[in-house]
Amino acid sequence: MEIKTHDKLFINGQWVKSTGTETIDVINSTTEEVMGRIPEGTADDVNAAVAAAKTAFESWSTTSVESRRRYLQLIADKLAAKKEEIAALVAAEVGMPLPLATAVQAGMPAMVMGSYAELLNSFQFEETIGKALVVKEPVGVVGCITPWNFPLHQVICKIAPALAAGCTVVLKPSEVAPLTSFVLAEIVADIGLPAGVFNLVTGYGPVVGEAIAAHPDVDMVSFTGSTRAGKRVSELAANTIKKVSLELGGKSANVILDDADFDKAVKSGVGACYFNSGQTCSALTRMLVPRSRYDEAVAIAKKTAEGFTVGDPLGGAAKLGPLVSATQRERVVGYIKKGIEEGATLVCGGAEMPEGLTKGYFVRPTVFANVNNKMTIAQEEIFGPVLSIIPYEDEDDAVRIANDTIYGLAGGVWSGDAERAKRVARRLRTGQVEINGGKFNPLVPFGGYKQSGNGRELGKYGLEEFLEVKAMLM
């Protein structure tokens, strides 16, 4: 793949040079070679982007809903048309196998953008309560700071509802996987979105991200990333009392009840842990199974995990590609070693490179048994293909273990009785629960309890995050 060099930022409807002189290399996670370069933006670049967004807000916030809907649909159509380009970039950056990247990393952004265009046909921005008129208005200039694991999807989950609401945006994508954000900026320029409505500033979190979070003219920050970084964003934003929406880490439990179809539930559960090589905040990384059927579950998980072939995401055969970076691989391998040190049983996988691979940030698909919920691998977010299988005594014990974490992003429940599954799901302190393998729905809210964040993305719930409420008393 040729090196994609981007030497300009997108500010106020124009491609402009950064005020800094440095660049950031984007690394191919399979070959470990440079695949792109982007500007290392500065706080001054953020100031220029925020100023442009603030000026543009006056007119964009008062455009008709129909006008905003048309722009969103145009972006959705252009994203769909560039599906192959987007998928190839993400497969190389992040490591998701190309067929999956095409469906998920490229398919979901177009779908979500289109869903907000559709939502604007029916969303009620006003209601009458007695003699009062209650109106929902755009919050203002929004700073969007996004992660590398679903690089374009997470961007669209923020800018689609922000633009739909009438907000203007300053985007800082992850410097690890930023290239699809330039594709988006090219689309924005191509469709003629008014200048300043969307601005792109690339760079490092401690410089560009912090400048956005602290900026007095940014009215809201929407951040997705680690809980540690989310706390820093909150600290900086607190000085100006701006609105903050956070989608952070997870350590989600997959509760398999004793009456479940174990073959189906465990196989699905392994896949739900390993999706995107485990680089998913909502990954179901703790599998909770009844002690009476524990050995059965471990055997199924071992066989399933050993079927996850590892290799080049562009090669067409691998189920798992590499992790995103050397740093990430070292982190995940460190957790695997920690699990062994703390006494968990390594069922399959391990810290060594997968057989036949000498280059790329690959990790063996790993399963641990005899895990207790106090172990590091059961409490901390690993962000790699590492599954912990934890036994429980009864339903109450399963719920206790599932909730025994600082996180509360997602979860799963499997049962032969759907009503029983729903009863257990109601007891889980998480923002989302998959029941018997329930599928992704772009119209339902996504977000977490506890230290998994605050606020919600997707659907009408995501749109409402970017709105202020005003009461006009008659």
Asked if 434 and 446 touch (Cβ cutoff 8 Å), the reply is no
| In contact, 288 and 398? CB cutoff 8 Å | yes
Task: Tell me the average pLDDT of the chain.
Answer: 97
The arithmetic mean of pLDDT across residues 300-308, rounded, is 98
22 and 79 both lie in a single domain: yes
User: Pairing between strand 366-369 and 386-392?
Assistant: parallel
Mean pLDDT for the stretch of residues 43-68: 98
Q: Is 281 a catalytic residue?
A: yes
Give the per-residue pLDDT at 317.
85
Annotated active-site residue in 144, 157, 167, 281:
281
pLDDT band at 316 (very low <50, low <70, confident <90, very high): confident
Q: Could you tell me which residues are beta bridge partners of residue 286?
A: 253, 388
Q: For the chain, how many structural domains are there in total?
A: 2
> Is 370 within the bounds of a domain?
yes
Q: Is residue 158 part of a domain?
A: yes
Residue 2: its pLDDT value, please? 83
- Return the structure tokens found at 366: 């790993």
pLDDT in tens, 334-391: 999 999 999 999 999 999 999 999 999 999 999 999 999 999 999 999 999 999 999 9
For residue 446, is it within any domain? no
pLDDT at 156 over 90: yes
pLDDT digits (tens, 9 = 90+) for 120-153: 999 999 999 999 999 999 999 999 999 999 999 9
Q: Active site includes 137?
A: no
Same domain, 242 and 109: yes
Position 170 scores a pLDDT of 99
Mean pLDDT along residues 24-28: 98
Residue 23: inside a domain: yes
Residue 213 in domain: yes
pLDDT in tens, 398-434: 999 999 999 999 999 999 999 999 999 999 999 999 9
Average pLDDT of span 450-462: 98
- Shared domain check, 459 and 394: no
Instruction: Look at residue 309 in the predicted model and tell me its pLDDT.
Output: 96
Residues 148, 18, single domain; the answer is yes
Residue 401: its pLDDT value, please?
98
CATH of the domain at 311: 3.40.309.10
The amino acid present at 34, given as its one-letter code, is V
Amino acid at 409: L
Is 447 a domain residue? no
303 with 191, same domain: the answer is no
Domain enclosing residue 375, as ranges? 253-441
Domain presence at residue 342: yes
Q: Could you tell me the pLDDT band of residue 282, with boundaries at 50, 70 and 90? A: very high
Same domain, 99 and 212: yes
pLDDT of residue 319: 95
Same domain flag for 212 and 289: no
153 in the same domain as 83: yes
In a shared domain, residues 152 and 240? yes
Structure tokens at 304: 């399933």
236 and 379 both lie in a single domain: no
Check which CATH number belongs to the domain holding 21 and give it.
3.40.605.10
Q: What is the pLDDT of residues 63-102, one digit of tens each?
A: 999 999 999 999 999 999 999 999 999 999 999 999 999 9
Sheet holding 467-472, edge to edge: 126-129, 132-138, 467-472
Q: What are the CA-CA distances from residue 392 to residues 236, 332, 371, 397 (Å)?
A: 41, 26, 11, 6
pLDDT tens for each residue of 327-341? 999 999 999 999 999
Distance CA 43, CA 9 (A): 13
Identify whether 415 is part of a domain: yes
Query: For position 249, what pLDDT does the model report?
Result: 96
303 and 203 part of one domain: no
* Same domain for 104 and 79: yes
- pLDDT at residue 315, rounded to an integer: 87
Q: Which residue has the tokens 């539930």?
A: 265
pLDDT value at 1 more than 70: no
Residue of 93, 175, 210, 247 marked catalytic: 247
Question: Please, which residues have CB within 8 angstroms of residue 345's CB and are 6 or more apart in sequence?
Answer: 368, 369, 370
